[in-house]
Amino acid sequence: MSKFEFIKNDIEGLVVIKPTVFGDDRGFFMETYQKDEFARAGIDKEFVQDNHSKSSKGVLRGLHFQTENTQGKLVRVISGEVYDVAVDCRPASKTFGQWFGVVLSSENKMQFYIPEGFAHGFLVLSDEAEFVYKCTDVYNPGAEGGIPFDDPTVNVQWPQVDCPLKLSEKDKHHTPFSQQKFEWFERY
């Protein structure tokens, strides 16, 4: 019996992962990654870097990608709640320019796998959230790129939060999707 349910959607490669959680009055236990089970589900990448961030309500990080050292990501929330989004940036994909979003929280314990070739971002819905993720390549600050969170071509439907959005200076100045070339994603 698998310890994970792998839920696919209309965008090829994106997978929501629901772990089996064993709980009682003492707490809970779950596996968050098991190489063989993930490989059987088509996620057979080697993860080489783990990251952990903490953000407050209304923080919107993204939509980010790297033009070199492109990263696949296995993301989850260990405290709080976020709305997590991936945008298909693979020019040869039949879903190029489409997005998919999912609520990840410490309560639902779901994970989201985003392969190489996607832009990624999240919005914090709770007072605070801690976000952890595994990457298939190392971070390369010289190869950062992004799409505006409110890009009209992509048209992500972000949930409303009862506070102003908080973006980094970098995230306020990304190139619109329609002006991106995405030639670095042609191999995906």
Is residue 36 assigned to a domain? no
Q: Which secondary-structure segment (H or E) carries 39?
A: helix 35-40
For the segment 127-148, the average pLDDT, to the nearest whole number, is 95
Task: Note the pTM of the prediction, 2 decimals.
Answer: 0.94
Q: What is the tens place of the pLDDT at every residue in 116-129?
A: 999 999 999 999 99
CATH of the domain at 139: 2.60.120.10
- Let me know if 64 is a catalytic residue: yes
Is residue 117 assigned to a domain? yes
Structure-token pair, residue 87: 């945008």
Is residue 17 assigned to a domain? no
What is the number of structural domains in the chain? 1
pLDDT tier at 1, thresholds 50, 70, 90:
low
Q: CB-based contacts of 187: which residues, under 8 Å, 6+ apart?
A: none
Res 181: pLDDT = 87
Res 81: pLDDT = 98
What is the total residue count of the chain? Answer: 188
Q: What is the tens place of the pLDDT at every residue in 62-95?
A: 999 999 899 999 999 999 999 999 999 999 999 9
DSSP state of 163: S
Is residue 152 assigned to a domain? yes
Q: How far is CA 89 from CA 32, 113, 156, 157, in A?
A: 27, 15, 14, 17
Judged against a pLDDT cut of 80, whether residue 35 lies above it is answered with: yes
Tell me which of 106 and 181 has the higher pLDDT: 106
Which member of 64, 113, 120, 188 is catalytic?
64
For the segment 31-60, the average pLDDT, to the nearest whole number, is 96
- Let me know if 52 is a catalytic residue: no
pLDDT tier at 184, thresholds 50, 70, 90:
confident
Of 169, 161, 188, nearest to 82 by C-alpha is 161
- Give yes or no for a contact between 86 and 58, defined as CB atoms under 8 angstroms apart: no
The domain containing residue 141 runs over which residues? 49-185
- Give yes or no for a contact between 70 and 145, defined as CB atoms under 8 angstroms apart: no
Q: What is the tens place of the pLDDT at every residue in 4-23?
A: 999 999 999 999 999 999 98
Res 2: pLDDT = 76
Which member of 83, 113, 120, 133 is catalytic?
133
